[in-house]
Amino acid sequence: MDVNSNLAVLIDGDNIPSAYVKEMMEEIAKYGNPTIKRIYGDWTKPNLSKWKNLLLENAITPIQQYGYTTGKNATDSAMIIDAMDILYSEKVNGFCLVSSDSDFTRLATRLREAGMQVIGIGEKKTPNPFIVACDRFIYIEILKSKTAIQNIEAGKEESTKYNVDKITRKEIELISTTIADVSDDDGWAFLGDVGSLLQKKQPNFDSRNFGFDKLTPLIKSIDKFEIEQRESPKGRHKLIFVKIKEKKTRNKRR
């Protein structure tokens, strides 16, 4: 998504912790300009009181939605109605839906059908149907800064080591097939193309889930792949290419 694109940020206040708001807004700014920022909830309830000061600091507009019936989430309906109104106003190029609730799956699908880019942000407990309905889905837990994590964990030190052990065979196979899909005749693939296709195949794929800031160090940590840097004909930055290592064959004795 173009960083100059206008985004509508709609937050489900009932399903997102207020402690993440700063990092969340910094992350959203990477994908576009959040021209509309709204958060939905029943502001008469004490569980949303932590949000109030944060809303002023981040220019987020609170939308009051009373819970008319016990056990029913009226916030969902208000957020969906507003999303459709914004869609038809043609004021934005994309949406950021912040929730861990699978009830927004159909909304994300409908917005994408209308040609909108949809970014989802939610906790790791978010059901898979909502995740795959988005163009990109970001787990909010990976956005926490080191200082904030240490405060939450009451002084425990945060490990700065990469979580290589979290990379399962499933992720390695996903990366391998993606490299093969975009590689040239010699097996080399431009890493930028690999990253883009990975995101399309699995919206919640993010190198930060494994402790890596970027895709390059993640790829380097996996022995199955090799990386090559090449000079760019159009600039000073080097281009990074990746290839699946060829399996070594043993010579059979006669």
Give domain limits for the chain: 6-152, 164-244
Q: What is the dihedral of CA 104, 65, 91, 8, to 10 degrees?
A: -50
Does 180 score more than 90 pLDDT?
yes
pLDDT score for 179: 94
Tens digit of each residue's pLDDT (9 = 90 or more) over 235-251: 777 899 999 988 765 55
pLDDT score for 73: 59
pLDDT score for 159: 43
Averaged pLDDT, 80-88: 95
Q: Count the neighbouring beta carbons within 10 Å of the beta carbon of residue 217.
A: 14
User: CATH 3.40.50.150: does it fit domain 164-244?
Assistant: no
Tens digit of each residue's pLDDT (9 = 90 or more) over 61-75: 999 887 655 544 567
Tens digit of each residue's pLDDT (9 = 90 or more) over 14-53: 888 888 888 999 999 999 999 999 999 888 888 788 888 8
What interhelical angle do 169-182 and 191-201 show, nearest 10?
120
pTM of the model: 0.80
> Which of these, 237, 241, 217, lies nearest to 227 by C-alpha position?
241
Q: How many CA atoms lie within 13 A of 73 on its CB side?
A: 15
Q: What would the CATH number be for the domain defined by 6-152?
A: 3.40.50.1010
**DSSP 8-state secondary structure symbol assigned to residue 174:** H
